Amino acid sequence: MRTSTFATTVLAVYLLPTTNVAATSPVTSILFSSSFGLAGQNETFDYVIVGGGTSGLTTAARLSANGSFSVAIIEAGGFYEVDAGNISTVPAYESNYLNAPPTIDWKIYTTNQSQLDGRSILYSQGKTLGGSSARNGMAYQRGTASSYDMWANLVGDSSYRFEELLPYFKKSVQFSPANVSLRGGPPVLYNESGFSSTGGPLQVSYWNYYVPVSEYIRSGLESLGFQENGQIQNGELLGFSQFPATLQQESQLRDSAQTSFLNTAIATSSGPLVYPNTLAKQILFDGKKATGVRVNTAGWEYILSAKQEVILAAGPFHSPQLLMVSGVGPEETLQQLDIPVVSALPGVGQNMLDNAGYGTLYPVNAVSQHRLWNNETYAMEAQNEFYNSQAGPLTAFASNYILWEIMPNSTTVNDTTRSALSAMFAPDWPDLEVIFNAAGPAVNTTGDFISVGIVILKSTSMGSVSINSSDTADRPLVDVNWFDTLSDQQLGIQGLRRARLFANATGVLAGAELIPGPAVQTDEEILDWIKTAASPSHHAAGTCKMGLANDTSAVVDSHGCVMGGISGLRVVDISTWPLLPPSGAPVATVYAIAEKLADDVLSGYKCV
């Protein structure tokens, strides 16, 4: 593909917008030298946190703000703004980093998926300060109220009900309404009661650009009877919405856990000490009490000891991996690798939940984001607008709308499957998230395009994470197992038919479907295509599942404390989730759960 030289090189050396961002982030530069731990030297802290991603930095910021605790953060990566260049902070270029360099990505490939034509699939996970909040599509939305109520029932703890979690959602976010004069388009419908004027430090707002093709998407959805939903932050999802994003409203740059929580913690408190480019090798135990972490920085091995707790926030793949190499996990796996068993917990690495999906592609007679990659004049104009007024195409990723739908019975899965799904999921739990993507790069030609992406939200397939080595430098074994169940396959088949309906309803198509193409029509043909096209939404969860004491598949209790007689060890990341709320993008819930579990620590709940 002939790409824009401007889009791929100039921005890397061009200064980013210089605006007054004091209100959005106390520190906008790289951290002070006193913020870093000394590599190679044994140290002792109250809390040692493994993983400087979304949940880890949220937890670290809240604990260090107390003023009474010393906190260390162990992060395998560095700063994404340095390791991936400053264009990594520009929303429109998010798609550049789906296949990111190993400086900011773990480069994990799944095991061969027999149900997906034997494919081994790249599953990107952020290896950088900020974690996947530095790598994601930036969409900020919460799950349905009923999904959190289900969570509360599964773990026997009413504090996970939506009305109890809502204060934690509000706590993490400083919300700014859309800048209508710069954005254009119709008014944004939202309910301000979902946010608090005292929340933060994470910035959430709207792009200063209404992608022109979005108006056709909106009119098409309205012609099909869908309504705009302004309650997506208040526990209701069905319908379509102009979704907000994790970005700084004034500068229109990405706001990650690093630029928000970590920078704020460093600027406003004694702050945690950060150990970047440092790999956690093993959790150390005295009997069954976690006492610290053995780490490696550039070949130097040393120990960071914890007087209070070791807190895992290494994500859905590396938290279970670290538990297993440290002797906590399925006994058979540990014995096969001659790892001394500290506690036999069969659920470690099991119960992996995910939202797989796929994307279609259509040419359109309207301006889309693809021009940033195939039209150098357009790209230069967009750069100038971004630099001068923090507006225009570079502030936006995808289109402006997402749809959540329960498919009508007349076009959906068979009665047996629908009945089974109804028994498993709440009545307002969507079947699908539909992402209207006008971004690029995606095609080898000039022109404008949209993709209608389908994400399966009622997935019943479960994957797993395991190990074949006692060394965390080796990649964990990730078996995603997407589309393994009949219901997932039926939802996927009907999802493509819905995508085609939505695309045609826009009235702006400029030609035949490009992906998968008009030759793919029957159920069998669609399923065969899905096997070649299914891809991750990068929302894996559940591999250190939260549950009741009598649940043999559970790994942690409702406070994140590791079971099996272990003390001094807590998990706070997405691996603890017993279900995956149907928001699509889970980052809002990642922040909220980390806030809640940090509050448990500060309230004196100890893992004993």
- Count Cα atoms within 13 angstroms, Cβ side, for 308: 18
- Which single residue is written with the structure tokens 């990659």? 373
Catalytic residue among 318, 370, 538, 539: 539
Tokens, residue 307: 């007087």
Feature table: binding site? 54-55
CA distance 347 to 341: 14
Residue type, 373: W
**SS3 (DSSP) at 44:** strand
Tokens, residue 195: 């946010």
User: Cis link prior to 536 (omega < 30° from 0)?
Assistant: no
User: Cis link prior to 441 (omega < 30° from 0)?
Assistant: yes
**SS3 (DSSP) at 267:** helix
What is the distance, to the nearest Å, from the Cα of residue 99 to the centroid of all Cα atoms in its chain? 15
CB-CB contact of 187 with 400 (8 Å): no
Beta bridge partners of 294: 282, 303
Element containing residue 530 per DSSP (H, E): helix 523-533
- Annotation says 370 is catalytic: no
Residue whose C-alpha is closest to residue 313's, from 132, 558, 471: 132
CB-CB contact of 570 with 601 (8 Å): yes
CB-CB contact of 47 with 69 (8 Å): yes
Feature table: binding site for FAD? 54-55
Contacts of 356 (CB under 8 A, 6+ apart): 455, 456, 459, 461, 480, 482, 483, 488, 534, 535, 536, 537
Counting every residue written for the chain, the total comes to: 608
The residues that are catalytic are: 539
